[in-house]
Structures are given as structure tokens and as C-alpha cells.
Amino acid sequence: MRELFARGFCTLLIPMILLTGCRSGQAYPYESENGINAIIYQLQAQFGLGGRYASIHMRYEDSTALVLTITGVAERNKDSLEVRQLRGGKWKQISSTNLGSMIEAPIFFSLDSVASFKKIPELIRSSIAKMNTELKKSDLHVKEILVNAPSYDPDGDPVRIIIFVEPQEGTEKFEYSYNSNGLLKDVLQY
């Protein structure tokens, strides 16, 4: 019994440490495979293994560490579109809407349907490398990632992984948009 308790405690403690701001060097939690696994664990704990998502927004704030804002349908409550936020290691429900009352239901995706979700660290490295070589930009970081289903792709893949890359100094922001398989679809500059 003690071993089971200790194992369960460690299983919960490790993701919380990863998500609440233990940054090693300049890495944000979503820049490593372990960080992405911890985020997936948190999503599954909140929305269940069968949870469906309209958007997953990951950003890093220096004051509160990782902030996850999730819009989706929990496995245990399939009639309600919920917005939940993880900030400072604590989940908070922002809003809940009955799906039947919506004029147009959003497009949903599951974590399993986004093949490149676990490849986010690789996509970040690729985006930064492209900027370093093509645009001669250096000292870059990613403080924000959005995974959503805007449904505007003529190829039939409604999911987008959008990585916002910006230099440490300056006001420019670059948006690298990938499809669910990790194929670069678009680059925008703000």
C-alpha cells in the first residue's frame, strides 16, 4: 500500500514540478519531450483519455510560469464545451457552454489525432533554425504555442500547430503554422 501511495505521489509530483516553472536554462516546459509528456498528462487528467479539444494554448509568463488555456469537451461531460486554465500549478474553470445551444459547433481534435503534438519540441527547434538561417535572426525564443482547429485548410486537415517565435529584444513576432502531421503550412510576420 505504501509503495502504491509513493508511486502515485511521484506520478503527480513530477508533472507539477515540470509545469510550475522549473526552467533549466532557457527551456520552457513545451520545449522538451518530458515537458510535453507532463502537459499531456495534465490534459488527460482534466479532460479524460477521450477528451476532445477545440484549442490548446500554451504560453509562458515569467511571473506564473506555464499557463495552459484549454477549450474542449471532457470525456465525462460530452454535452458541455469548457474553457479551463492551468496557472501557477492550479486548474480553474473559466467558462462552460452547452453544445446544444451553440449556433455552430466547433471542430474538435483528440491528442491521438494530432500526430505532431509530441513533436512540438522538434517543431520549435525547426522554426528557430529556419529563422536563424533564412532571416539571420538570433537570440530567439518561443513563449507561446497554439494548437487549434480553425477548419480553413483546403487539404482537409483542420488542425494547426502555431508556434510564435520572437527575438529576446525587439517587437517582431513570427508565426510558424504546421498541420497535424508537422508539415509547415505558413509563416507570418507581425
Let me know: does 114 contact 93? Beta carbons within 8 Å.
Answer: no
The ranges assigned to domains in the chain are: 2-189
27 pLDDT band, cuts 50/70/90, is low
183 burial type by CB count under 10 A (0-12 exposed, 13-18 middle, 19+ buried): exposed
**Mean pLDDT of all residues in 23-30:** 57
More confident residue, 35 or 17: 35
Q: Please state, rounded to an integer, the average pLDDT across all residues of the chain.
A: 81
- Whether pLDDT at 18 is above 70: no
Model pLDDT for residues 145-183, shown as the tens digit of each residue: 999 987 666 677 888 999 999 887 777 889 999 988 889
pLDDT above 80 (res 20): no
Neighbours of 29 (CB within 10 A): 23
